[in-house]
Chain A
Amino acid sequence: MINAYILINLKPGDTDKALSEMRKINDIAKISVVAGEYDVVVRAQVKTLEQLLKVTNKIQMIKDVNKTTTQVIEKEIAL
């Protein structure tokens, strides 16, 4: 299983609509709306890098998405 964080910058506009589009994407496990340099942090859970590309592509196709930065998780420690 490949896990990745996708950091998203949105254009000012209809954030709620962009979020509801993201919530429909199957391979997204978590969506966090954040305050700071980015607007949304998404955690994707996919089986292959090809699927990760599809998820990133789907996000970029959302109208108000300005830029995405993908960070693939290599190692993780969690509670």
Chain B
Amino acid sequence: MKIKIRKRYLFYFLAFTSAIITAIVSGFDSVAQVFISNPWALGLACFIWGVIISVLFSLILSISYKGKSLGAYTIDPTFKRVRLLKKQELLYHLLAGLGNAALTIGYFLLLSMMKGDVSVVLPFSQIVILYLIIIESIIEKNTPTLIEIQSSIIVTFGAILGSISLTGTISIEALLIVFLIINPGWVLLSIFQRKLKMMKIANKPNDAINIRLWNVIFACIISAIIIMIFDIISKSNYLLEGIYASFNHYFWVAIIAIGVFFSFIFYIRALGIGKASVTQAVKASVIIFSIPVTIALGYFGITEPFLMDPVFIVIKFIGIVLILLGILSFALTLTKAYIFIRMKPGFDIEETMKKLWDVRGVNRVCAVAGHYDFILKIRTRTLVKGYERILRKVEAVPGVDEYKWQSVLKEWEDI
């Protein structure tokens, strides 16, 4: 028997699980930096092991038992087996891979520029949530609402405050890397991974495991090419150092790669349910989950001990409260509804369907046989907006004879 759970719970479960794994991985990241001090070499080693681990785990998860794969039983119900890319996925994978490579290279550029201390500059990468809001306003049919924009700004500023450090320096060049390389890289990665997740492959939903596997392969190849070009220009030897580091310190790098693999599986699944900006905002909770990791790392002497300065604690606390408030506001303000429509005779079904689909906030249009002619699924942040922006537009579509609005109170879905 399939399990039906509430979709909203599933989204937050996936996004929070991804954040928790990311927080733990960040701890191993700090340990790995002790062994591989060159950030470029560490980055490449992580990608090389990322490919090895992703291939290995994807093959293990492809093992079939009673007609279902192990992956489908455990982490992704839509996964069947590892497969080759379909033609329609190629461009999206290329762009998502480029995004992943850009943000990783940007991060390591920052590390080498700031001599390892990126704690003041890196929090500004949380502004990626706002980048995603802007991009979604342009390319997505379901544009962000005022509440989503407000909540995103609250989470973004909370995330900056929650992760900022009182030590370290700040420079224009470093900020430019964050704003022009790291954040656009995240945008490319999130938007195109979401597009891949929403894609139907052989009439079935695309699975997160294959998306992750191919993303890391593309990102590894693109990163290696970028590092090679960098090596030629700067006469450095980072490509070889990275390959050596992946052999010499395989243990820590492999652990990071395992964590990142699972973190991304949950993140990609969450992207398939929520908008990229909302998923990213919920994932900003990584800052909260990172606190115990930071304390543990300080306790074992791997990093500087957790600063107990009262001002620092107050700033962190305000940041965490803002993150929680923003996430809560996302969670509590989504309204869904069905609209059942009966049409007058003499109006083309396909044409009417297109007109209904063009109404903002309409997430699904079904032409049906039975008592009604169309069933629409609506997602809106407020009922007022549902009335003004959706219902008024729907009733203005030529041929609509009668409509019934049914607000969704509670919903369960197969996972």
Interface residues of chain A, those whose CB is within 8 Å of chain B, are 1, 3-5, 7, 19, 23-24, 26, 28-38, 41, 69-79
The interface size of chain B toward A, counting residues with CB under 8 Å, comes to 38
A32 pairs with B410, CB closer than 8 A:
yes
Given A72-B369, A79-B141, A33:B375 Cβ within 8 A: no
Which chain A residue has the least Cβ–Cβ distance from B370?
Answer: A71
A31 pairs with B2, CB closer than 8 A:
no
A73 pairs with B410, CB closer than 8 A:
no
Interface SS of chain B: strand
Assuming A7-B340, A72-B369, A78-B377, what are 18 further A-B pairs, CB within 8 angstroms? A5-B368, A7-B371, A23-B412, A24-B1, A28-B4, A29-B414, A30-B413, A30-B414, A31-B4, A33-B409, A34-B406, A36-B406, A38-B406, A72-B370, A73-B368, A74-B368, A78-B364, A79-B142
Measured between beta carbons, the chain A residues less than 8 angstroms from B365 are: 76-78
Measured between beta carbons, the chain B residues less than 8 angstroms from A34 are: 337-338, 406-409
Q: How far is the CB of B228 from chain A (nearest CB, A)?
A: 40
Rounded to whole angstroms, the CA-CA distance of A33 and B413 in the bound complex is 12
Given A32-B410, A38-B406, A41-B406, A75:B353 Cβ within 8 A: yes
Rounded to whole angstroms, the CA-CA distance of A28 and B2 in the bound complex is 9
Rounded to whole angstroms, the CA-CA distance of A7 and B372 in the bound complex is 11
Given A24-B1, A34-B338, A73:B411 Cβ within 8 A: no
Measured between beta carbons, the chain A residues less than 8 angstroms from B366 are: 3, 5, 71, 73-76
Q: Can you list 13 A-B pairs with a CB-CB distance of less than 8 A?
A: A5-B366, A31-B411, A33-B408, A33-B409, A34-B337, A34-B338, A36-B406, A41-B338, A69-B370, A71-B368, A77-B353, A77-B357, A78-B364
Which chain A residue has the least Cβ–Cβ distance from B414?
Answer: A29
Given A29-B413, A33-B408, A34-B407, A71:B338 Cβ within 8 A: no
Measured between beta carbons, the chain A residues less than 8 angstroms from B198 are: 79
Interface residues of chain B, those whose CB is within 8 Å of chain A, are 1-2, 4, 141-142, 198, 203, 336-338, 340, 349-350, 353, 357, 363-372, 375, 377, 404-414
A35 pairs with B413, CB closer than 8 A:
no
Measured between beta carbons, the chain A residues less than 8 angstroms from B413 are: 29-31
Give the top 7 A-B pairs by smallest Cβ distance, nearest first: A36-B406, A71-B370, A71-B368, A34-B406, A78-B364, A33-B410, A75-B367
Measured between beta carbons, the chain A residues less than 8 angstroms from B336 are: 32
Rounded to whole angstroms, the CA-CA distance of A36 and B409 in the bound complex is 10
Measured between beta carbons, the chain B residues less than 8 angstroms from A71 are: 366, 368-372, 375
Measured between beta carbons, the chain A residues less than 8 angstroms from B407 are: 34-36
Q: How far is the CB of B274 from chain A (nearest CB, A)?
A: 11
